[in-house]
Structure 1
């Protein structure tokens, strides 16, 4: 009997949560349609009491997706929502701009090509093109990987101030025997990345896997993403890496140009 009551209680809570989410989305749709609206009109359209509408709007306001207008009784979409939409649009633009270039790079190298962006303390993979030499490539899209143990991560970290890197990475956990775990070594490696224009990670995240990465810049010249070539350490040995790096850096610059970046002096 108790179990039945608990189940019914949980189901009731779940229904309430779903209903609240649906109402919150409806509020956003109302504000998008009307431009601005007051609590009374929102409550009327939702078919709820004013106190319920006020509580929902207050929650959205606290998260920055809704804000009050100069007329204190009305609300409009907040900059938080616009910022999220802008970030999503920027990532879509990045994938669309890089896709044909990534395909050509994968064809030229025979290896897997990925593009990643910085999210919190990790690199997030947005897109992947498998090369002909890769039999069963890892599907990295949507995965987050550590900054200190990957070539993409090093490129993204190299664009930050050293203090920012230390704040983002209070710990440097090992993944293999070759993972960088000393802070001084990491900063020396990031300095090399800035000087050389690309990063290399050999057996640092996984044994037998090597990756090279180069920065992709936006129209302002800021590092917006990292483009990488990943393959087996056997194929990407020291001799072959030099040729791959040349192709990679050229491809990353091509993506940057597609995003509006113009190199100084050109």
Structure 2
């Protein structure tokens, strides 16, 4: 029997957890180690399953970079011949390509064409609303979407929470970058040239950063440490730095290429967003920022192979 048709003895049975660890959802009708013989001309059963499996392969390649036929068959829980046939179909449409030196597969340029057609229509305010609306209702505080604009931050969108006290509408408002949680998230991921321009605009004649309140970070060394914390931990907190009595927690929103394109934050009165509540808010902000990033086309790296 040719090796391509021989059942792989060590191919693991796929589970929801296996795919879930890669952030992949799939709904196979019935996964088996036997060759797939369910594709029928009447369009029922196996044809839908094959589409599901092909889409899962694309997600696996996106998460892992490169995979071999045996690995893909094992992750899907199917025979190698089934995986080979699905890969050949994807390759014929330019959605997957085989590396000539190792025989492994990666995403093809056809995926980039499809992504480009979608990316041009993505709008961060529109794409974030299904996330920021429920988040504001859940936490009861204001949720903001903020970008860099020159050497300042610019508020693109804001969704008010259900709490009685709310800050005023900041859509269209510009704020200093160094004095806000959103600004530090964006500054932490800016290019060196952008960062220097931003800090230059925010500096006084003495070289220190401009104090907006007595709590604003004005020392460049302290700010650099704060930015390193943002890059390491994935969020920023600002307490009373822009306004006395105002606290904000922010996390980065990434685009399809992985670059930080915006910041998502929860802001509210410092007496409500106190030290005891901050850890809960951090989790909510990071989760929401990840959800918006996914809607903007970003695919988080694989968390590790099972």
Per chain length, whose mean CA-contact separation is higher, i.e. which structure has more relative contact order (CA < 8 Å, sep 6+)? Answer: 2
Which of the residues 211, 226, 230 maps onto 1:193?
A: 230
Tell me how far apart the structure 2 counterparts of residues 187 and 91 of structure 1 sit (CA, whole Å): 36
Tell me how far apart the structure 2 counterparts of residues 119 and 242 of structure 1 sit (CA, whole Å): 29
Equivalent pairs, count: 179
Is this contact kept in 1: 2:151–2:197, CA < 8 A? no
Whose helix fraction is larger, Structure 1's or Structure 2's? 1
**Secondary structure at 1:175's aligned position in 2?**
coil
Structure 2: stretches of 5+ with no match in the other structure: 1-118, 204-208
Tell me how far apart the structure 2 counterparts of residues 250 and 223 of structure 1 sit (CA, whole Å): 15
Moved over 3 A (4+): 89-92, 161-164
1:146 aligned partner: 176
TM-score if structure 2 supplies the norm length? 0.56
Tell me how far apart the structure 1 counterparts of residues 299 and 140 of structure 2 sit (CA, whole Å): 29
Per-residue CA distance 1:76-119 (angstroms, 9 max, x = gap): xxxxxxxxxxxxx9797100000120011111111000000111
TM-score if structure 1 supplies the norm length? 0.64
**Mapping 1:125-144, distance limit 5 Å:** 125-144=155-174
Which of the residues 99, 122, 131 maps onto 1:101?
A: 131
**Secondary structure at 1:234's aligned position in 2?**
coil
2:7 aligned partner: none
Structure 1: stretches of 5+ with no match in the other structure: 1-88
Is this contact kept in 1: 2:210–2:218, CA < 8 A? yes
Tell me how far apart the structure 2 counterparts of residues 194 and 208 of structure 1 sit (CA, whole Å): 26
Q: Provide the aligned C-alpha RMSD in A.
A: 1.9
